[in-house]
Amino acid sequence: MSKNLRGNFKWLAGIASVSLLGACGVPGDSASGEQLVGEAQELRQGDVAVSLSAKTSTLSAQERATLTVTLTNTTRHPVRLLKWYTPAEELEEPLFSVTLNGEAVAFEGPHYKRPAARDTDFLTLAPGESLTRTVDLGLYDLSRTGNYGVRFEVEAQKAHGSSAKQGLLKSNDVSVWIEGRASSVQQPSEVTPSLTSSISFSGRCSTTQMSTLMDAMNAGSAMADNSSAYLSTTTPSGTVRYSTWFGAFSSSGWNTAKTHFASIKDAFDTKPITLDCSCKKSYYAYVYPNQPYKIYVCNAFWSAPLTGTDSKGGTLIHEMSHFTAVAGTDDFVYGQSGAKSLAISNPTQALNNADSHEYFAENTPFLQ
């Protein structure tokens, strides 16, 4: 996945140990909501007020660490929000900044590769309309006992799915005394026999799936080799390939990309990698950043091309970059359009964006 304020905005999908309570209709999904979509405006700072509350100020280790979040459209016009970065449905991202004694508490959930956002991935809040959900902090490190400070906090750029800088969605602070408890993060499942000494499978992969994954590993490894060689042998400069995905050239930026791809190449070449077939989500894949080198592949992976844009090999590059032992990337934007815009607006984030690494490696269309 949280290293700092930026890290608290990473969003990772579909983990059973993160609970969403209080099921009710999603704003903007009704017929009237669909009519509002055409009129809805992109979120601007201050358009949506966020309120956070706790049912109790003290939680024992046997109690779930739940909080209630309310998002309210305070404008006179409909506002469009990307569902991924709200508690509208299943909680899929670290929606909170969590601290203990003033120190950031890590989000231990997974990082997903998603397809670029589509219209169905958004919801619309009508003027004055509120969305209220109760969410569980179970994917944060709550192993220590003490007073935790919690705040809902997300970059507005993520809430409307672009790379524009539009401020934050930010709630009030809540303080809760929480007794330390065991982690609820998914633990690695049983590993099945490997096809090579360094690649294993889990999640009941079929023979066909294992063969497909081996092809994807070879494709991803070739992309990592090419990327690392390019950054090692090309004279550092604002080449089209570099600037398209990582923004304005700087020697430090080039060296960061070079270091990242050297680590990605090394992981493909030398690390014991496990590929898991158990995910049934619509996304491409996910990893737990602190559990190298296990990659969970999901539904979109199987229909992706082997190479090229948003490919099987590229997906493995994306996920490999997430591991803290490799490059520790985040997910700021998804899709080529978003990645290109991010390179222009924020090269620092582009150098820490997993899709930016994938598109650099896939290099389609071909760039020198």
134, amino acid identity: T
105-114 core/surface letters (b: 16 or more CB in 10 A; e: else): bbbbbbbbbb
Nearest CA among 165, 173, 172 for reference residue 44: 165
- Alpha helices for the chain (secondary structure H): 31-37, 156-160, 207-233, 240-246, 251-270, 299-303, 312-322, 336-345, 347-350, 354-362
Give, as one character, the DSSP assignment of residue 142: -
Dihedral angle of Cα 112, 115, 117, 118, to the nearest 10 degrees: -140
Per the CB < 8 A criterion, the answer to whether 216 and 316 are in contact is: yes
354-362 vs 336-345: helix axis angle to the nearest 10? 110
Spatial separation of the C-alpha atoms in residues 218 and 163, rounded to whole Å: 32
Distance of CA 117 to the CA centre of its chain: 13
Give, as one character, the DSSP assignment of residue 210: H
Please tell me which residue in 93, 153, 155, 319 is annotated as part of the active site: 319
**319 is an active site residue:** yes
Give the residue carrying structure tokens 């966020």: 50
146 CB-near residues (< 8 Å, 6+ apart):
100, 101, 177, 178
Spatial separation of the C-alpha atoms in residues 347 and 351, rounded to whole Å: 6
Per the CB < 8 A criterion, the answer to whether 81 and 158 are in contact is: no
Nearest CA among 356, 313, 317 for reference residue 333: 356
Q: If residue 70 lies in a helix (H) or strand (E), which one and from where to where?
A: strand 66-73
Nearest CA among 331, 245, 324 for reference residue 6: 331
- Alpha helices for 44-89 (secondary structure H): none
Looking at the annotation, which residues are catalytic?
319
